[in-house]
Structure 1
């Protein structure tokens, strides 16, 4: 990770000592899906002390050229996701039915969900990620998005569907798209180990952040953490930008974690609870990359269990 130099400008917020984390992500990004356990733990560590802002980078856009052979592209991308999942230990679908034509509708929904509060925003984005990485049916149209979210507890899906189409939400996603293509110098300069060795990716008209990327800003400067990084790297970034804070939080019980997050993977359990056992009342959904555990209220409307054509094994 690359900290800000002594002469670089610092990002300030609501007064001296403000700390901000900007998350550059996309609902369809397999590395972002694999990073969710660390991000969840990081949000616990920083709760109430950090402004966390999410920016949608639009990994797949509407004006991308269609593949000449969709079946071949789907087979290749399915192998690509599986390779990433073996690195991150994230679940992945038994069968990917298609590659997302665009991640813009899911990004619009996730951005609109922020109007309903942090809990709704987290639940919507999580469910949309699961359409790709658990179900294998990416929510790449407005209709597929709303179908995937139907009945989601704590979310007014009718309101969300209406707000997805509002010009102000579309403008916010366009700003996200542009911001993701203007990386800070710390991201451009990043070089590190692992599959994400650089902080930016080339596009047809320039560069964008490698997804996901966290940019930490505070009184100690600015640090870019691109790609899939460890919790140790994230906490080191926090200590760099905000050296006056103690970034600690107790682990939580499995039942409490599932009640809060509604959906847990093996890595989620490990980072959030320090263990591997879900609560006994969790609903288990099998994937090619290991189980996903659902809260019973989440399972009641989850398309993995309610859509006949998509049902996956459970126990």
Structure 2
């Protein structure tokens, strides 16, 4: 990533030479994308109203992938893989992964359909679907599991969502996402950085795709690819490269405001968004193998992590 000269004039006004766009290549079941959510949430808040943010679903697991010869062994291995990544990103992870997602296409269809209901619904749907894997350990890899996970989710018309998951336009949009994720720009091919996620593209059976997640920043100052798990300063440097005349400085918000806005907070999100580690008194705690998840009371009322725990306790009593 290139740096901006410190004597380059900046202002809070838009550059005027072109719009800023951020394209996020992701997948609901990607552990690196889950670990990147603290930085991405802050970036989305920082760029709101000043950049167009477009999300592309790369389909990490697809319907035509060959089944594992030993599903139990694959699940055990992948559970350890998630735990290793979580130790790097500090993201929560499930005490036990019950199965590896057979496909991430149904969750991607639901997340794409949710965009029709607005930005808030889209964020809540994708977040809840990520949590089926990384909090519950039960990936929502069928349409039925997707809708079960989303049942009662505040601000989302799940009946409409279920109907629109099969809408030809939604299906075509996800198909285009799949293709776009497998046509990386030259900047992604050329990207190399230290660390466990330092290449810009990943090999597939029939070519390559973006490393997930990847952010591609475009603006009057050029284009920058930021693949894999990157630090917040790296993302801010990319923003300052593509839009050097704008001020890109993140200010912390209070924990109550963060919980009200996001409804679900990991420890790293609480720290990055608020500058502290103390959750609001009303937050509902969900324990995972990688630390707590904090839920807004309205979110906790329908969250499958709480209903599953209640059912388990009822069976034991």
TM-score, normalised with respect to structure 2 = 0.93
Show the counterpart of 2:210: 209
* Runs of 4+ displaced beyond 2 Å: 307-312
Question: Within 5 A, what are the aligned runs for 1:28-177?
Answer: 28-177=29-178
The CA deviation at 1:308 is 5.2
Show the counterpart of 1:257: 258
Residues 295 and 311 from structure 1, CA distance in 2 versus in 1: closer, same or farther, beyond 3 angstroms? farther
The CA deviation at 1:250 is 1.9
Structure 1 unmatched runs, 5+: 4-14
Structure 2 unmatched runs, 5+: 4-15
Show the counterpart of 1:7: none
Distance 2:312 2:281 in 1: 22
SS in 1 for 2:54: strand
Superposed CA deviations along residues 122-175 of structure 1, whole A, max 9, x for unmatched, are 000000000000000000000000000000000000000000011110000000
Residues 254 and 311 from structure 1, CA distance in 2 versus in 1: closer, same or farther, beyond 3 angstroms? farther
SS in 2 for 1:43: helix
SS in 1 for 2:136: coil
Superposed CA deviations along residues 31-89 of structure 1, whole A, max 9, x for unmatched, are 00000000001111111100000000000000000000000000000000000000000
Distance 2:273 2:117 in 1: 25
Aligned residues: 302
Superposed CA deviations along residues 153-205 of structure 1, whole A, max 9, x for unmatched, are 00000000000011110000000000000000000000001111110000000
Distance 2:256 2:205 in 1: 46
Residues 175 and 169 from structure 1, CA distance in 2 versus in 1: closer, same or farther, beyond 3 angstroms? same
TM-score, normalised with respect to structure 1 = 0.94
SS in 1 for 2:69: coil
Show the counterpart of 2:232: 231
Superposed CA deviations along residues 237-285 of structure 1, whole A, max 9, x for unmatched, are 0000000100123210001000000000000011100000100110000
Distance 1:219 1:66 in 2: 46
Show the counterpart of 1:6: none
SS in 1 for 2:230: coil
User: Would the aligned equivalents of 2:2 and 2:238 in 1 still touch at CA under 8 Å?
Assistant: no
SS in 1 for 2:302: coil
Residues 131 and 239 from structure 1, CA distance in 2 versus in 1: closer, same or farther, beyond 3 angstroms? same
User: Would the aligned equivalents of 1:29 and 1:59 in 2 still touch at CA under 8 Å?
Assistant: yes
Show the counterpart of 2:13: none
SS in 1 for 2:179: helix
Show the counterpart of 1:219: 220
User: Would the aligned equivalents of 2:94 and 2:135 in 1 still touch at CA under 8 Å?
Assistant: yes
Distance 1:132 1:309 in 2: 19
Show the counterpart of 1:244: 245
